[in-house]
Chain A
Amino acid sequence: MQENDKKLRIMNIPMQYFLVLSTFMFFAGIYGFITRRNMLAILISLELVVNAVDINFVVFNRYLYPGSMEGFFFTLFSIGITAAESAIAIAIIINIYRNLHNIEVRNMNKMKH
């Protein structure tokens, strides 16, 4: 473990610390995703989740595959795509707001009937 630890430290920060951090962020986002009522708040929580995932990719890339750049590019694209997705989501939410004057999740049940 000591040997590996040495190799896995970049300036003394073990990889697991990053991973724990990103885990934390991820599940905070999940908590917010489940609990929040306002749709925008849900989107915000979703951003947290995606960011945690990005950190994970970057960390793996840096620590486990220092020669290649897949994780880096994945994260790059992920950022771009997430941005696009959030934009569309916000557009939809604004549309809903226009029709219902309300963006609470519990009121979004018209489609069911």
Chain B
Amino acid sequence: MEIAANEIVFYVLSVVIVVFSILTVTTRRILRAATYLLFVLIGTAGLYLLLNYHFLAVVQIMVYAGGIVVLFIFSILLTSHAGDKAEPLRLKDRLLGLSAALAGVALVLPVILMNTFGPTTPVAADEQIDMTVIGSALMGAGKYQYILPFEAISILLLACIVGGILIARKR
């Protein structure tokens, strides 16, 4: 049986993602959780690359891995000692969480696996998306173009900046 390279990559990435996401949510040291999150995000970026969305992968690394995780680590260090171990969870809480998660999995998995997702248009799907296409779509004002959400996001970011300063200023 021939196994293509990207299959191997996919499996490796998926293992990474799965393992590290479990570790993120179960570890008792919070700094380690942040680190594991970083790995998960990098794994996700790898997935995007696998799917030929290069721009997205880069954005993911830049924003998430470079920005958010750093932010997290700063705040963790600000609010707790780096070596602190959280209390072990009680059984009740564990059950609570597991029940919700497993219920959800039980709901979603059958739906995914039983349904047949038919393709809409048979198009070769291996092309890389050109940067100019992305750029003009992002700034374009025509139908299916994204200038409006772009501006909305910029306002949102402005609001976030202002809000962040307001919340975090010294009194």
Contacts and interface: CB of A to CB of B under 8 A. Distances in A.
Determine direct contact between A and B, CB below 8 Å: yes
Interface of A: 1, 4, 7-8, 10-13, 15-21, 23-32, 34-38, 40-41, 43-45, 47-48, 51, 54-55, 58-59, 62-70, 72-73, 75-77, 79-88, 90-95, 97, 103
Nearest to B62: A79
Given A30-B104, A64-B117, A72-B56, A83 B89 contact: no
Contacts, number: 225
Nearest to A62: B51
B137 A36 contact: no
B56 A76 contact: yes
B156 interface: yes
Q: What are the 10 A-B residue pairs with the smallest beta carbon separation, nearest first? A: A32-B25, A35-B97, A34-B97, A31-B101, A84-B160, A27-B101, A28-B21, A66-B123, A91-B167, A31-B97
Interface of B: 3-4, 6-7, 10, 14, 17-18, 21-22, 24-26, 30, 33-34, 37, 40-41, 44, 47-48, 50-53, 55-56, 59-60, 63-64, 67-68, 71-72, 75-76, 78-80, 86-87, 89, 93-94, 96-98, 100-102, 104-105, 108-109, 112-113, 116-126, 129, 133-134, 137-138, 144, 146, 149, 153, 156-157, 160, 163-164, 167-168
B21 A66 contact: no
B118 A55 contact: no
Interface of B is mostly: helix
Given A35-B97, A62-B51, A90 B117 contact: no
A76 B98 CA distance: 31
Given A51-B40, A72-B53, A80 B10 contact: no
Nearest to A65: B120
B125 A10 contact: yes
